[in-house]
Structures are given as C-alpha cells and as structure tokens.
A and B are shown apart, each in its own frame.
Chain A
Amino acid sequence: MSGRPGIYVIYRPLPAAMLTLVLAAVGALAGLMLGTAAAAALGQRDPGTGVWDTSSAITLSGTIVAEPYPMLLPDDGAAGVLLVGVGKVGPPQEVLDLIGSSASVTGYRLERDGMRMLEVQSTSAGEGSGGPIARTPADRGEHAIATEILDSKCYLGAMKPGSGEGHQACAILCVRGGIPPMISWSDAAGVRHYALLTTAGGEPMRDEDTSLIAEPVVVTGTLTARDGWLWMAADRIER
C-alpha cells in the first residue's frame, strides 16, 4: 500500500486515519472565516450618534412651515423639526394641508447632534392662529464646502451610517421622494456643522443634482441661519 490514509470517497465510510485531518482542516477553515467576520466587523466606520426612536411616538405642537422643506416650528421656540413621511417620502398630505397653520404632529423622532425630524404618524390642527411667523434669516456669508450630499432622514438615524458610496442609491431615492437633502462638514476646530441644501433661489434641490448625492463634492453658495438650522443656497455643486 502507499502508506497514505486512503482517498476520501463521499459514499464510503471515512477512513479512520483521515478523521484528524478532516477535523483540522474544517477547524482551520472555520477559524479563518470567523476571523474574517470579526475583522470586517471591527473595520466598519463609526456610524455616528443618529437616533430613530420607534419605541414610542411623540407629539409636538407648533406651526407648520414649508420654505422649502416642511418643518414644524415648535411653540416652545426650539429649533425647527423636519417633517417626513413613513418610508422614503416627504410628509403626508395632511401635513401639507396645514402649512402656515398651528398643528400638533405625532410621529417617531429622528435626531442627530440636536437636529430633529419627525416621521409623521398623524397630524391634527392646533388651537393657535398659525399666523405669520418672524423667521428672519441671519446671513453667514459665501462658502465653498467640501462635503457629501446626504439624505437627512437616513443620516439623522433611519439608516446609519447613512452616508458614503454604499448608501448612494438609497440617498438618491430618499431625496427624489421628498426627504430634504443636507450637507455636513467639520470646521478647522473640528466642530461638526450641518446645513439643509437648497437651490440658489431657496427652492428644493433640483432633480439633476441628485446624481451628485453621496459623491465627494464642493458645494459653493450662501449660508444662512434660520429656524435653528443652517441653510446652504447652492450656486454650484461640483465633483
């Protein structure tokens, strides 16, 4: 005989001398696989501090505005809360019907670094008049910001990390569906800033710009502060 343990034949009993080899090979392969799983898991970037709390809905009261993205300006004077629908769409018609009016909006909270959004579950007209609101913007000047265009719902917590090439298709779908686009960048001191993105004229982002979502881009335009948010009115968006 050859002195080898015999060949492995799938329909015959395993030669006894091969058992140790089989166990060792399977163990080595399993170890390699699980080691790869651990390494790949540990290599993932930090998804950030976004929250999507679907454990209980909250109700906020205030005035609904929509220039250009639907938002609730709370009665307590806190920063505006973006309003979106269930899924990758803007808020439901019942919200749009109450633009300019006082309302109570119930929904699930999304929040990152103090910026809030409600995924609207229900809306009811409020008791206040919902009359004109002073929303004077503060000019922050012209800027050219190297950034990435994000969809605010995923980035605030619905689909963490909600950024990067891997998330591009989802982000495009969200923005095309009515989710407000936003940008994020760090200043020289390392402080993170966020701004909702509009056209130069303050309109919702153009459809042709959606192909630049989740790409490294430079957004040039005018920054203003309003309703507790920064807004970037983009003159140019370039790769």
Chain B
Amino acid sequence: MSVQYRAVNWTRHKVVYDLVLAGACVAFVGVFMVMSMVVHPPPNEVSPPILVMRALGTLAIVLLHVVLAIGPLARLWPRTTFLLANRRHLGVATFLVAGLHAFVVYGFYGGFGVENPVLAVLVRPDGSVGFEFVGFLALLVLLVMAATSHDFWLALLGHGVWKAMHMAVYVAYALVVAHVVFGVLRSEKSLVFPLLLLGGALVLGGLHLVAGGREWRRDAASSDESEDGWIDVGDPHEIPDKRARVVCLGSGNRVAVFRDGDRLSALSNVCAHQGGPLGEGEILDGCATCPWHGYQYHTENGQSPPPYTEKIPTYELRVRGGRVEVNPRPNEPGTPTTPVSITEGGAS
C-alpha cells in the first residue's frame, strides 16, 4: 500500500521475487544455448545470434504462459496467491524479454543491409506483411500494458478501466500464438514445437475454464433471498474466524462477510486497488486484508487505516434463526456499520 508516488515500492519479497525471476530467465537462456550446442555441436552449430533470438522468443512465450496461468491458479488454489502478488513485475519482464527478442531479430535479420532494419523485417517488398508483423503487434500490446502497469495508472484510470485494459494480455497471447504458428511452425519440422504450443494452450484454457466454472457454481449456489430481499449467507458459525464467506447478490456483486471472533461485518468483495477478491483474504491487524497485494480495510467501515485513503462499500447484516443475512443494497464506500454478533437472533 502506498500514499505517495514511487517507481517501485520495494519490499524484501519483491526483491527476492525479482531476483528469482531474473535467475530463472538467465538459466532458461543458458539451458537453451547449452542444449542447442549439445544437439548441434560446433562447427555445425546454429548461428549464435539466431540461438539468442530463439532463446529469448521461447522465454517470452513461457513467461506469458506463466503470467496467464497465475490468475486462475490463485483462484483454484489460494495458497499460490504469492505468485500473484508481484505479477506486474512478471508482466514487465515478459515485455522486456520479448523486446530483446525483437531487438535481436531486427538487428540481425533486418540489419547490415540496404534498408531500414525494422521495416526490412516487418514489411515485404510487395507491401505485404508476415508473421513478424503479428509479433510486432503483440509486442505493442505488451508495451502498452507494461507502460501502464504502475499504480499511478491504476489510480488514474480506476481499477475497472485499468483491469479491462489489461485484459488485452489475451489479445497479446492470441497474436503470439499466430506469430509462432506462421513463423516457427512453418520453418521447423519437429513435433516438439506444435506440442509445446498446444500443451500450453490446453493448460491455460483448462485452468481458466475450471476456475471460471467453479466461480459460476459458487455464485449460483449463494443467492437465496428472504421475503424482504435480504440474502442468506448461512450459518455464521461455519465462517472460520478471521476469514470470510463470499456470497453473490442478485446484481452480480459479491459481498465478503467477515468473522472476527463473534462479530460479523460485510464488505464489498472487490478490493479498491486492483479488484482483488477481498473475501479470500483474512483479518490481519483488525483489518480485512486482500490476498493479492495486502490492501487493508476496517471491517466496520470499509476504510483503509490512515494514512491510506481507500474506501469500499459496506453492507448491513442481521442474524435471524441462526442464519446470517445481508442486505443486498450497498452503503456508500466507507460508510460505518455496526457489526452483528453471531449469537444474535437465536443463533444455535
């Protein structure tokens, strides 16, 4: 959390995350180069610049798969949320590696000739374009996303617009797949490449479908209404202490009902930072804490502890007949509410 502009709010975790990421990237390129030399040893080796561009291109695609897999992974197995906490650095790293790949391609395939190196690669003499242009478009998408990844843009655009904009990562993925299909798969005959590409697509598609399906089933199962329109949340004793139960309202909005000892409070499930699933976090320091980036909110008023200024909507709760119910009408962000006791209203 931050109340002032900083390029990166470094923490020990971020430093370790980035060092591990950088080490993995270097190891990837190293393994690629060494294994290439093993299978095609000198003097019959692949030219070093081509090895570098291939290694970087492959690495960029692998990183893009990891970026795309982290979201559904964290939804399916919340314990893996630590991968998500610094996902933006992973996204920026993906762009940098892809950019390096393009730089080497423009330098060696487009350079040393009689034409502009970038245009020589992107545009054929007859004005047509090839798979390189598709890769260039993917790089542009990644550039826009990397350039707007900072919280400055998040605050400026609002997390709804920002998130919608960053869904363009799926456009980048589609462009990258096309780049590989019309480039690599037309040049290389080994089954390794289509199998890797297909395997990656199946894993990503499978993760997204399973995560989405589970969320859809959970939402569908949590919309029982009382006669006056309040939504049944369930037996309050079944909510683990310091944690929340998430229910979907008829409007599609989700509410996180937190239990802190014998007190219950309801907040919007959408974190004001990046729209993270607040209800999958827990109460730390007396505040509901988002599992994505640790943004915190007082459970009784939806306000971040000073000096932070984020606010999210709160909801009214009541306990009747041993069941906790939530009023689906949200209060204005930051509106104080009175927590209810799990023993109110004849709790069992």
Nearest chain B CB to A55's CB is how many angstroms away?
11
A166 adjacent to B31 (CB under 8 Å)? no
Q: A37-B35, A44-B46, A164-B188 are in contact. Are A9 and B183 (CB under 8 A)?
A: no
What B residues does A9 contact at CB under 8 A? 85, 284, 289, 294
Assembly CA distance A7 to B44 (angstroms): 52
B243→A2 contact, CB < 8 A: yes
Give the chain B neighbours of A6 by CB distance below 8 A. 282
Q: Does A34 sit at the interface, judged by CB under 8 A?
A: yes
Instruction: Assess the A169–B109 pair: CB atoms within 8 A.
Output: yes
Among B128-136, B157-165, B211-219, B222-230, the one that faces the other chain is B128-136
Instruction: Tell me if B120 and A37 are in contact (CB < 8 A).
Output: no
Neighbour of B190 across the interface among A45, A163, A167, A169, CB < 8 A: A45
Is A25 a contact partner of B83 (Cβ separation < 8 A)? Answer: yes
Interface size class of A (residues with CB under 8 A): 35 or more
| Chain A 208-230 near chain B by CB (<8 Å), digits 1 or 0 | 10110000000000000000000
Q: Contact: B114 with A44, CB < 8 Å? A: no
The reply to whether A30 and B44 contact each other, CB–CB distance below 8 Å, is no
Contact of B45 among A3, A88, A160, A163 (CB under 8 A): A160
Inter-chain CB contacts under 8 Å: number: 200
Who on chain A is nearest to B46 by CB?
A: A47
Across the interface, which residues of A come within 8 angstroms of B240, CB to CB? 1-3
- The complex places the Cα of A87 from the Cα of B241 at a distance, in Å, of 70
For B59, list chain A residues within 8 Å (CB).
33, 37
Find out whether the CB atom of A37 lies under 8 angstroms from the CB atom of B187: no
A9-40 contacts to B, CB under 8 A, are 9-12, 14, 18, 21-22, 25-26, 29-30, 33-34, 36-40
Q: B281 at the A/B interface (Cβ < 8 Å)?
A: yes
**Is B293 in contact with chain A by the CB < 8 A criterion?**
yes
Q: Count of B residues near A, CB < 8 Å? A: 79
**B242–A2 touching, CB < 8 Å:** yes
B196 — which chain A residues lie within 8 A by C-beta?
Answer: 36, 39-40
Complex CA gap A18/B66 in Å reads 20
Does A177 sit within 8 A of B, measured CB to CB?
yes
Q: Is B54 an interface residue (CB 8 A)?
A: yes
* Choice from A1, A22, A159 contacting B47 with Cβ under 8 Å: A159
Indicate if the CB atoms of B282 and A2 lie closer than 8 Å. yes
Distance A22 CA – B85 CA, assembled complex (angstroms): 13
- Contact among A51, A170, A208 with B110 in the assembled complex (CB-CB below 8 Å): A170
Contact of B44 among A26, A29, A40, A49 (CB under 8 A): A49
At the interface, yes or no: B306 with Cβ under 8 Å from chain A?
no
Q: Which of B20-28, B138-146, B167-175 contacts A (4 or more CB under 8 A)?
A: B20-28
Check A18 against B128 for contact (C-beta < 8 Å). no
- Within 8 Å by CB of A51, from B11, B43, B284, lies B43
Q: Nearest chain A CB to B193's CB is how many angstroms away?
A: 6
B186 contacts A by Cβ under 8 Å: yes
Chain A proximity mask over B43-69: 1 for CB below 8 Å, otherwise 0:
111110110001100110010001000
A residues within 8 A CB of B103? Answer: none
B11/A10 in contact, CB under 8 A: yes
Instruction: Establish whether residues B40 and A44, one from each chain, have CB atoms under 8 Å apart when the complex forms.
Output: yes
Contact with A along B257-297 (1 / 0, CB 8 A): 00000000000000000000000111010000101011000
Instruction: Given A9-B294, A166-B183, check contact A25 B80 (CB 8 Å).
Output: yes
Check A10/B294 contact, CB under 8 A, given A5-B79, A34-B28, A161-B46. Answer: yes
Q: Contacts A34-B28, A170-B109 given: A88-B125 contact, CB under 8 Å? A: no
Q: Which residue of A4, A5, A37, A86 is within 8 Å of B31 (Cβ)?
A: A37
Bound form: Cα–Cα A203–B81 in Å: 65
Within the complex, the shortest CB–CB distance from B299 to chain A, in Å, comes to 15
Determine the distance from Cα of A160 to Cα of B184 in the docked complex, in whole angstroms: 15
Q: Which residues of A contact B20 (CB under 8 A)?
A: 26
Would you give the shortest CB distance from A120 to chain B, in whole angstroms?
A: 15
| CB atoms of A164 and B40 under 8 A apart | no
- In angstroms, Cα B284 to Cα A6, docked, is 10
Assess whether A173 is in contact with B32, with CB atoms less than 8 Å apart.
Answer: no
With a 10 A CB-CB cut-off, give which of B45, B50, B242 has the most chain A CB atoms. B50
Asked if B329 lies at the interface with its beta carbon under 8 angstroms from chain A, I say no
Query: 10 closest pairs, A vs B, by CB?
Result: A43-B192, A164-B187, A41-B35, A43-B190, A87-B112, A88-B113, A8-B82, A2-B240, A9-B294, A170-B109
7 contacts between A and B (CB under 8 A): A11-B294, A30-B27, A34-B31, A37-B58, A38-B31, A160-B47, A173-B120
What 17 additional pairs, Cβ within 8 angstroms, besides A11-B11, A165-B182, A173-B109?
Answer: A2-B282, A7-B284, A7-B291, A25-B82, A30-B27, A41-B31, A44-B36, A86-B112, A87-B113, A158-B47, A161-B50, A165-B183, A165-B187, A166-B183, A169-B130, A173-B113, A211-B128
* Chain B residues within 8 Å of A, Cβ to Cβ: 1, 11, 13-14, 20, 24, 27-29, 31-36, 39-40, 43-47, 49-50, 54-55, 58-59, 62, 66, 78-83, 85-86, 108-110, 112-115, 120-122, 124-126, 128, 130-132, 182-184, 186-193, 196, 240-243, 280-282, 284, 289, 291, 293-294
